[in-house]
C-alpha cells in the first residue's frame, strides 16, 4: 500500500515536470537550435585558430562543456530516443573537439607493432595525427545532434 502511494506521487511529480517543459516548448526548441549552431560556429573558429596556435584546442573545454550541457538539458525531456541521441552525439562531439587534442591521446589508441625475429623484438610505432580521429568523431557527433534536433522540431520524423 505504501509502495503504491510512493509510485503514484512519483508519477505525479514527473507529470508536473513534463507539463512545465511543454508549456515552454518553443523556448526550449529555440535554445536547442541556438546551442547547436553555436557548436558549429565554435568548431569553425577553433579550426582557424588551431592553424595559428596548435595549443588552442586544449583551452576549448571551458566553452564546449557548458554548451553541450545546455543542449542536453534542452532536449532530454522530449523522449528516450532524443535523450540517447543527444548524449551519444554530445560525447562524440566533445571527443572530436577537445579530447583527442589533449596529451597524446591519439597515440594511446594506435597500438604499436612488434616484430619478433630470433628472439629480438623490433617495436615500431605509428605516429598518428589527432585530426584523423577528431574529425570522424566530430562528424558522427554532429550527425547525431542534428538528427536529435530534427526529431525535436518534427516529432513524427
pLDDT band at 53; cut points 50, 70, 90: confident
Please report whether residue 5 resides in a domain: no
Q: Over range 49-75, report the average pLDDT.
A: 81
Per-residue model confidence as pLDDT tens digits over 124-143: 556 666 777 778 888 888 89
Say yes or no to pLDDT of 118 above 60.
no
| Domain extent for 14 | 10-153
Please report whether residue 121 resides in a domain: yes
Please report whether residue 137 resides in a domain: yes
The greatest distance separating any two alpha carbons of the chain, rounded to the nearest whole angstrom, comes to 75
Per-residue model confidence as pLDDT tens digits over 17-37: 777 777 778 888 888 899 999
Please report whether residue 29 resides in a domain: yes
Please report whether residue 3 resides in a domain: no
Closest C-alpha to 39, from 65, 19, 9: 65
Sign of CA dihedral 18, 24, 27, 29: positive
Residue 35: predicted pLDDT: 92
Cα–Cα distance for residue pair 52/67, rounded to 1 Å: 24
Please report whether residue 1 resides in a domain: no
- How many structural domains are present in the chain? 1
CB atoms within 10 A of CB 38: 15
Residue 3: predicted pLDDT: 61
Residue 133: predicted pLDDT: 75
Please report whether residue 2 resides in a domain: no
Sign of CA dihedral 99, 102, 106, 112: negative
Cα–Cα distance for residue pair 36/16, rounded to 1 Å: 27
Non-local (6+) Cβ contacts of 137 within 8 A are: 92, 93, 95, 96, 100
C-alpha cell of residue 10: 512519483
pTM of the model: 0.70
Amino acid at each position: 500500500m505504501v509502495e503504491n502511494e510512493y509510485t503514484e506521487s512519483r508519477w505525479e511529480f514527473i507529470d508536473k515536470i513534463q507539463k512545465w517543459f511543454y508549456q515552454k516548448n518553443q523556448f526550449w526548441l529555440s535554445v536547442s537550435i541556438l546551442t547547436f549552431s553555436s557548436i558549429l560556429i565554435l568548431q569553425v573558429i577553433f579550426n582557424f585558430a588551431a592553424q595559428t596556435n596548435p595549443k588552442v584546442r586544449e583551452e576549448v573545454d571551458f566553452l564546449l562543456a557548458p554548451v553541450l550541457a545546455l543542449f542536453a538539458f534542452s532536449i532530454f525531456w522530449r523522449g528516450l530516443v532524443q535523450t540517447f541521441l543527444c548524449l551519444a552525439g554530445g560525447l562524440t562531439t566533445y571527443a572530436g573537439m577537445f579530447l583527442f587534442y589533449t596529451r597524446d591521446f591519439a597515440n594511446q589508441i594506435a597500438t604499436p607493432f612488434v616484430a619478433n625475429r630470433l628472439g629480438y623484438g623490433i617495436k615500431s610505432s605509428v605516429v598518428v595525427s589527432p585530426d584523423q580521429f577528431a574529425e570522424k568523431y566530430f562528424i558522427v557527433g554532429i550527425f547525431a545532434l542534428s538528427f536529435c534536433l530534427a526529431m525535436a522540431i518534427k516529432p513524427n520524423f
